[in-house]
Structures are given as C-alpha cells and as structure tokens.
Amino acid sequence: MSKPHAGVLEVAGLSIRYTSRTPAVLAVDDVSLTVAPGQCVGLVGESGSGKSTIGAAVQGLLTRETHVEADGTVRVDGVDLDVTAEAGWDGVRGHRVTTVFQDPMSSLDPTMTVGRMLTRVTGSKQESLRWLEAVEIRDPGTVLRAYPHQLSGGMRQRVMIALALARGPALLVADEPTTALDVSVQAQILRLLTRERERLGCGVLFITHDLGVARAMCDEVAVMRHGRLVERGPAATVFGAPAEPYTQRLVASRLTLSTDRQRPIGLPDPTVLTAMRETGAAPDDLEHRWERGDLHWSSFTRERTEVRGGHTLELAGVTKSFRTGGLFGAAHKTVLTGVDLRVARHQSVALVGESGSGKSTILRIVAGLETADAGDVYVDRTQGAGVQVVFQDAGASLTPWRTVGQLLAERLEDLPKKERDQRVRLALERVALDPALAGSRPGQLSGGQRQRVAIARAIVVPPALLLCDEPTSALDVSVACSVLNLLNLLRHELGLSILFVTHDLAAARIIADRVDVISDGTIVEQVPAASMSTDMTSEYGRRLLDAVLA
C-alpha cells in the first residue's frame, strides 16, 4: 500500500450479503484492497472464498441483482460507486473497468464477427487489426471476419483481451482468464497480459485459484477465505514466507517439479491421516512424522506374496479414428496411430499430453468405452476386478439421484446385503469419508467429497487397473492435494496399477513411476518420473515442463 489514495481501485470495508436465502450469506466480509495504476494485484482463494463476488462488485455487475446488500466503499478511477445501485456506473462499467472472463464464449456476441465487435470499440479497421496483432493473433485479417464459435479457446481469450484493453481501461479485472485453457496456451496468455499491462499502465485485479499463476503474474497478492482477507502482501513474501496457517497450507499444497514424491504432499491433512490410520499399517505419531517429513509412502506398502513381474495393461499398435463431417464429405480424423503402452503390475504410469493429443481416447479404449480400430488391448484381469475409472468431473460421473451407498453397492451386487454394507463402509473409510455419507446424494457433497466417492467406488472391489482422468484438475489446490495423497496411499496399500491421464506434469510426477508423453496420437517419449525434468527431451515434453510455473 504505497500510495493509498492514488489507486485505480480502492475498496474499503466492503461487505456483501446475499439475502435470497435465510440466513443471509455473507459472501464478502470487510475486505479492503487497493490496485495502483500499472499494478497487478492477485486475488487468490479457493472456490467459495468470495473472490469472484468482489470481482463482480467492482465491475458493477451486482447493481441489478435483487437480494444483495453491501456495506463499505468502492472507488474506481476516482469515482465513488455503490455496488448495489446503478447510479454512476454508466461511464465506468465497460469503459474504466473492463473484464476478461474465464469463458470468453459467454461474453462474446455469437452473432457478430470479431471485426465488428472490435471496430465498435476501436473505431477503425486498421486499429482493430493492430489490436489483434498486439494480442499475438496470427493472420488477424482472417480472424476479423470470423465469428467467435469459429475460433479456438485460446484465440477467443486473446480477442477478449483485445476487446478489454482496446477501451483503454484504468482497471482490468481478469477472472480466472486461463483456467479453461491448455497449459501451454496458458503461459502465452499470461505473458501477453503482463506485457500489455506494462505497455498500457492499467491496474489489473487478477482473480485466480491457481497459486502458480498468481505468483507468476502478480506484484501483490491478497489471499481470501470464507469471504475474508486472510493475508496480503507482496507476492514474493506471501508465497515465500506465508504468515497465516491457511496461506501456509495453500502454499504447501502447491506442486512443483521439486516437490518430494516419496512422502505425503502438503501439510498434515486430517482426512488423509484418518485414511492412513484405517490401513492399520500406519506408524505411531503419524501427524508429527508427516510434519517432520519423516513419513514415507513405503511404510504403507503391504507385503505381497505373489511374484512380481508381468503387465497389468498392454497396448500394442493401437489405432483409432473417428468419423467427422456431415452426411456427404464424411472424413476420418485419426486420433491414435500405433500406440504402444504398458503398465507393469503395481506400477503407476502417467500419460501426459494437451487436449486433443489422444490421451483421453486411450483411457476410453482401456476402459472399454471405445474400441480400437486396430492393435491389441490386453488387461490382466487376474489381478483384480477389471478396470475402474476415476473421471475428471466426479460430479458428472455420479448418478445424481442415487445415494453414495447405492452407487458403491452396485459393484457388489452378488454379495449378501450385510457384507455389502460392510464393504461399502470400508471403502468409504479408506477414502476418509464418514460412512454416514452413504445415505447422501452426490448433490449434497462438496467437490472433494465427490471425487473421493468416485475413488471409493473404483476401489470398493480393488480393480486390476485404476484409470484416473485428470482427477484433480477441477479441484481446489488443497482438495487436489488430499486426493493425490489418497491415491498414493491406495496405490501403496492395495498395490494398484494406475494409468493416470493429465496435462499437469507436477501432478503426474507425484503419482506416477513413469511419465509417458503423448502428442498427436503417438507416444513420443517415456521417462522415469523421478528424473523427469532432466530426462525429458521431446519438444512437446519440454514445453509442458516450461508450463509448470516454478
């Protein structure tokens, strides 16, 4: 807070209540913050922390909502504004404050070409072209004539940024601008935003749940939890030496390429501790050992009698293409070309690649949801009950009207009821869920709980192979951290073979023994997870490594 009265955004004592429910929900609780011109302030927090409500409030998006009450002051570019009243916002919203949203599709007019939208702001076609060049759009002439739906996600986000910046705002609100994008694109967009901010000198309020992004982007960081500001300060201080326990936990949950993969990650987590105790193999004094860094996954590894060796999964020369196009010009898009992939018994393999690389298709083929056009797919089912999948969107993978208990019990149809109930309880305990939740429906659970239910369903009868499709990418960092810890615990305890599909090398490294990089339907390299950052040589692999923001 170097210049307290010169900020393009000054928020003081802001509280926002949603009164549509009784009791009213206090979404923002006495928050003060300032964004100076040219400064980037990160507003960091997990979902439900109130960060997006602040973002909406300072853009004047709450003025038409009924059932909203607010206290405190908001001053944008020197203008005092009431976040719940329309007065005064006219020349501010969309002019002094502009926005880049997570999903540009919802804020771009689908009926207008990019050129029309942009020229409305810039006034001339030349100027529009210049802006498209500024946001690093190749072939801006073509894009000008395109409609939003004809563009890729990254392109749309660039257009959105051009639209937001072309108005010459004093304040840019960037609300999770890269969350929906591929990691490699994400880095480019972030670089672009930083460059343009410096060029134009506008203040940026950067809202994100991603600590890595915040650290890379922001001068100052404000950490929010339950509507309150927990900690704020220069980014280096907050991430380097967090003062508050909550911030410490958040920072500790952040994965980098140097995170220790032999031990549980993050700070001691009660859910994971509970699950560890359920194994019966836990050493005494668990929590302290974890804190001291003296808790190794190896201590949970069960003695196994059977001979090691052999493969749980073997893919040889797997090829797959999909029909695309309309009635006439039916074309085939090749997704996989000659994929060879093996997962040894008790081994964990991460398959990394960006969207469209074919990694999800491999997973679906292994799961039996698709069939390969050519090649062999072999799963050694003697090692357990077939293949089970934990999907990225756990919420969508759980039938909304079935209870947790019913969903789990479906894998146990042939057992007597009593035993079935027992197994369900056991599985829930393994993933540190209260067995009482067996009566709940997915809608009543949090995101992390749903993901754990999905894992519990997968392991209620231990499968020969567990497939994980980006199981943590939709979760808040601390929740993702527990899920990764749980998966690691189960891997060691049950000796599961795992195929883990992700685009996040840092997460891949935690779970996997080996990382396979897939690009354009072919596996381009296979490296041991432990020495990934040095051994990875493929161009695509290096790009992914760069995208993990150190």
Partner 1 sequence: MPSWLRRGETLAVVMLSVVLVAALIGPLLSPYSSIIPSGAPHLPPLSAGHLFGTDELGLDIATRILEGTRTSLLTALVVTVIAAVAGMLIGTLAGFVGGVLDTVLMRVTDLFLALPATIVAMAVAAGLGTGLTSSMIAITVVWWPLYARLVRGEVRRTARALHVEAARMSGTRGTRLVLRHVLPSVLPTVAVTASLDIGGVIVTVAALSFVGLGAPAPAPELGLMASAGLQYVVNSWWIPVLPGLAVGLLSLLFNYAGDGLRAVLRGKGA
User: Rg of the Cα trace of the chain?
Assistant: 25
Give the x-and-dash track for 321-360 against partner 1 (CB under 8 A). ----------------------------------------
At closest approach, how far in Å is the CB of 385 from partner 1? Answer: 8
Among the residue ranges 291-299, 330-338, 375-383, 409-417, the one whose residues contact partner 1 (CB under 8 A): 409-417
Nearer to partner 1, 358 or 442 (CB): 442
Q: Is the dihedral of CA 176, 364, 352, 260 positive or negative?
A: positive
Supply the minimum distance, in Å, between the C-beta of residue 382 and partner 1.
17
∠ CA 492-522-153, nearest 5°, is: 90
Distance CA 415, CA 421 (A): 10
Q: What element of type H or E holds 30?
A: strand 25-35
The Cα 105–Cα 192 span in angstroms is: 20
- Per DSSP, what are the bridge partners of residue 103? none
Contacts of residue 123, defined as CB under 8 A and 6 or more positions apart, other chains included, come to: none
CB closer to partner 1, 134 vs 343: 343
Three-state secondary structure call for residue 181: coil
- What's the min distance (Å) between Cβ of 106 and partner 1? 16
Distance CA(544)–CA(538), nearest Å, equals 10
For the bound state, the minimum distance from the C-beta of residue 458 to partner 1, rounded and expressed in Å, comes to: 9
Contact between 249 and partner 1 (CB under 8 A)? no
CB of 369 to partner 1, least distance (A): 6
Sign of CA dihedral 307, 309, 310, 312: positive
Measured from the CB of residue 401, what is the shortest distance to partner 1 in angstroms? Answer: 5
Q: Interface with partner 1 by CB under 8 A: which range of 276-284, 393-401, 423-431, 526-534? A: 393-401
Closer Cβ to partner 1, 407 or 517, answer by number? 407
User: How does DSSP assign 271-333, residue by residue?
Assistant: HHHHHHHHTS-PPSSHHHHHHHT---GGGGPPP--SPP-SEEEEEEEEEEEEEES-SSS-EEE
**Residue 423 engages partner 1 in binding (rule: CB under 8 A):** no
Q: Does 496 bind partner 1 (CB under 8 A)?
A: no
Which one of 78-86, 147-155, 271-279, 389-397 is the stretch in contact with partner 1 (CB under 8 A)? 389-397
- Give the residue with the Cβ less far from partner 1, 368 or 439: 368
22 binds partner 1 (CB under 8 A): no
CA distance 35 to 402: 47
3-state secondary structure 55-104: HHHHCCCCCCCCCEEEEEEEEECCEEECCCCCCCCCCCECCCEEEECCCH
For residue 513, the minimal CB distance to partner 1 (Å) is 24
Q: Which one of 245, 270, 368, 528 is in contact with partner 1 (CB under 8 A)?
A: 368
389 binds partner 1 per the rule CB under 8 A? yes
Considering only residues 159 to 198 of the shown chain, the ones binding partner 1 according to CB under 8 A are none
Count CB atoms within 10 A of the CB of residue 301. 14
Here's the x/- map for partner 1, 91-130, by CB under 8 A: it reads as: ----------------------------------------
Q: Is 391 in the site for partner 1 (CB under 8 A)?
A: yes
Of 128, 397, 449, 472, the one binding partner 1 by CB under 8 A: 397
The residue within the footprint of partner 1, chosen from 106, 413, 417, 534 (CB under 8 A), is 413
Stretch that binds partner 1, among 289-297, 384-392, 419-427, 505-513 (CB under 8 A): 384-392
Upstream peptide bond of 268 is cis (omega within 30 degrees of 0)? no
**For partner 1, which is the closer residue by CB, 129 or 454?**
454
Q: Is 475 in the site for partner 1 (CB under 8 A)?
A: no
Q: Does 419 bind partner 1 (CB under 8 A)?
A: no
Interface residue with partner 1, options 402, 423, 425, 441 (CB under 8 A): 402
**What is the Cα–Cα distance from 71 to 15, expressed in whole angstroms?**
5
**Residue 401 touches partner 1, criterion: CB under 8 A:** yes
Own/partner pairs for 484-488, CB < 8 Å, 24+ apart? 484/255, 484/265, 484/510, 484/511, 485/264, 485/265, 485/266, 485/269, 485/272, 486/271, 486/272, 486/275, 486/431, 486/432, 486/452, 486/455, 487/455, 487/511, 488/264, 488/297
Nearer to partner 1, 94 or 462 (CB): 462
Which CB atom, from 328 or from 401, has the smaller least distance to partner 1? Answer: 401
Q: Which stretch binds partner 1 (CB under 8 A): 20-28, 223-231, 408-416, 520-528?
A: 408-416
457 binds partner 1 (CB under 8 A): yes
For residue 404, the SS3 value is helix
Which of these segments, 32-40, 232-240, 400-408, 502-510, binds partner 1 (CB under 8 A)?
400-408
Instruction: Classify the phi-psi angles of 13: left when phi > 0, otherwise alpha if psi is within -120 to 50, otherwise beta.
Output: left
Strands across the sheet containing 331-344:
331-344, 311-324, 374-379
The answer to whether 243 and 221 are in contact (CB under 8 A) is: no
Provide the minimum distance between the beta carbon of 66 and partner 1 in the complex, in angstroms, as a whole number.
9
CB 492 within 8 A of CB 275: no
Min dist. Cβ of residue 397 to partner 1 (A): 4
**Site membership for partner 1, residue 398 (CB under 8 A):** yes
Size of the site for partner 1 (CB under 8 A): 23
User: Closer to partner 1 at the Cβ: 17 or 450?
Assistant: 450
186 CB-near residues (< 8 Å, 6+ apart): 178, 213, 547
**In the complex, which residues of this chain contact partner 1 (CB under 8 A)?**
367-369, 386-389, 391, 393, 396-402, 406-407, 410-411, 413, 454, 457
